[in-house]
Structure 1
């Protein structure tokens, strides 16, 4: 049986993904004066941390290659403040959700889901959860679509904080995490979107190191040990995400799932774009 945290992740993730996939959030951030998508990405996602230096953001985000964060932070704060970035990100994300969901955006089920998801998303301990704690310090929107998006963002970053902890515990570095995921999906590392842009020599070095540790076999596929490591990481991530739903009773969890299913289905069909 699929763990509750994994099941809810599959339903909540499409809500937050509009932030990165849909045009409206990028356009809202670009309207502040940012140069490109990645300026907006780092400004919007790092904004809850305030004007944290690149070294801190790199550590918290974990899976970006050396130097990628510093190409954007702190320069993005010369363009717009963290507060302006937060407002633009939310405004664009809500606009995207309303466009994709159409009538579902004003349905009673979405409002119920927003309340239950917010109850879950604001109930977990913040200790050791830097991104989650930063988001918890922000006000919760009142409008249902914005409220649901904010709750989904909290739940995603809470899970992300736990995923980083699981990766660290299993000795998997940031770039290695992308390679592990790519190979688990049957995608060669050099074809995977998050690392294909890296210098070929750097990516080859990472793959060689994973092969030397027995995580990748001689054919370039995940070894049995690599698959076991991936499964342990995902299982621990689920375990660490589970406390977010402890505040909901069985009937509330069932209601949340029922209300999120049509929302997630619509967003999945659109690719959250």
Structure 2
């Protein structure tokens, strides 16, 4: 018997609420940056570490390819920060450092929960889901599929969460393309969705105020943003449709869950996600 929960709701709840917090240590903790510094990077320069670690599953591809796959960075960021990273190290070394640092950060954040039986159970099921998801049209996810699976339970769980996160991300990019929303506009949409200003949201920092305002003006001209810089009714509806399409594209990864598996999976993951939310990524175990 398979789960009867709505697949779009299920995909968003499992993917964004329960699994993504386990992956976000990669970007929110010091340990991954420190591990990348150990292979030659300057940990005071965040973006080269980011681009090298996240793009490593793609191999030594040109910056233009990384820019296209990552989709939503300000123009020129990939060219500036990715170019030259493989003069510092190799993709395989970057992958190993990223995994080691991320797992160390996750272990610190979770504290005693990192060694609970729930970790191994959730890791095995998450990995099954992640490795049975469709890869067509998902370049970053497909690249991650070529990486050897870790054996240690916490590392396996982080790896599976990363696979499922990038699977969803590739599908989200496809939904944005279909909706005619480019990378910079996607960040304006995300900012407005969370009640932030586009300038405060990040990743568009390289844009001047005039350049950023031009992006917003373009959305305003299309009737998606109003004079006050908020969503119009049409803009809100388009944002919601993009998220619904993202859920639909992510849903096949979770379609094989039985009702019993879903119950166990959520019971194992919910305390982990709640702990991360409660203590934050800067928490230090006493």
Q: Into which bin does the TM-score normalised by the smaller protein fall?
A: over 0.9
Task: Give the structure 1 partner of residue 246 of structure 2.
Answer: 237
Task: Give the structure 1 partner of residue 9 of structure 2.
Answer: 3
Instruction: Work out whether 1:155 is the aligned partner of 2:164.
Output: yes
Question: Aligned partners of 1:76 and 1:269: how far apart in 2?
Answer: 35
Instruction: State the secondary structure of the residue aligned to 1:126.
Output: coil
The two structures, once aligned, show a CA RMSD in angstroms of 1.2
CA offset digits 1:219-259 (Å, max 9, x no partner): 11111111001100111101100011122222111111110
Instruction: Work out whether 1:45 is the aligned partner of 2:49.
Output: no
Are the equivalent residues in 2 in contact too, given 1:163–1:233 (CA < 8 A)?
yes
Once structures 1 and 2 are overlaid, which stretch shifts more, 156-165 or 124-133?
124-133
Instruction: Work out whether 1:145 is the aligned partner of 2:154.
Output: yes
Using CA pairs under 8 Å that are at least 6 residues apart, name the structure with larger relative contact order, 1 or 2: 2
Task: Give the structure 2 partner of residue 208 of structure 1.
Answer: 217
Task: Give the structure 1 partner of residue 3 of structure 2.
Answer: none
Are the equivalent residues in 1 in contact too, given 2:109–2:280 (CA < 8 A)?
no
Q: What TM-score do you get using the length of structure 1 for normalisation?
A: 0.97
Q: Structure 2: where are the runs of 5+ without partners?
A: 1-5
State the aligned residue count.
Answer: 273
**Deviation at residue 197 of structure 1 after TM alignment:** 4.1
Are the equivalent residues in 2 in contact too, given 1:51–1:77 (CA < 8 A)?
yes
**Deviation at residue 73 of structure 1 after TM alignment:** 2.3
Q: Structure 1: where are the runs of 5+ without partners?
A: none
Instruction: Work out whether 1:70 is the aligned partner of 2:110.
Output: no
Query: 173, 179, 189: which is aligned to 1:180?
Result: 189
Instruction: Work out whether 1:268 is the aligned partner of 2:274.
Output: no
**Deviation at residue 193 of structure 1 after TM alignment:** 2.1
Are the equivalent residues in 2 in contact too, given 1:49–1:134 (CA < 8 A)?
yes
Instruction: Work out whether 1:12 is the aligned partner of 2:44.
Output: no
Q: What TM-score do you get using the length of structure 2 for normalisation?
A: 0.93
Question: Aligned partners of 2:199 and 2:31: how far apart in 1?
Answer: 30
